[in-house]
Amino acid sequence: MYLGIRIDLLEQLIRDKCWKKKEVADMLGINYSHFHRILMGKRNPGSKFFCGFLNLCKKENLKFEDYVFIKKK
């Protein structure tokens, strides 16, 4: 089992906040090309992504649990 990200909700958040995807990658502390691959479903987010996303959720007063799920292999 591992954590997954609700890409649909993440993309909606990016649109609602009028953020650029590059800005979000920087906020998460990951490379933009890796972030793009996550959004395209070509890569799974790792611990660095989730650590950055948890901090972003705290900063923006968002519920981390709304954006993640446990995925079985």
Q: What is the pLDDT of residues 29-52, one digit of tens each?
A: 999 999 999 999 999 999 999 999
What is this structure's pTM? Answer: 0.91
Give yes or no for residue 4 having a pLDDT over 80. yes
CATH of residue 65: 1.10.260.40
3 and 10 Cβ atoms separated by less than 8 Å = no
pLDDT at 1: 82
d(CA 14, CA 8): 10
pLDDT at 2: 85
Number of domains in the chain: 1
72 and 3 Cβ atoms separated by less than 8 Å = no
**Structural domain boundaries enclosing 16:** 2-71
Strand partners, 25: none
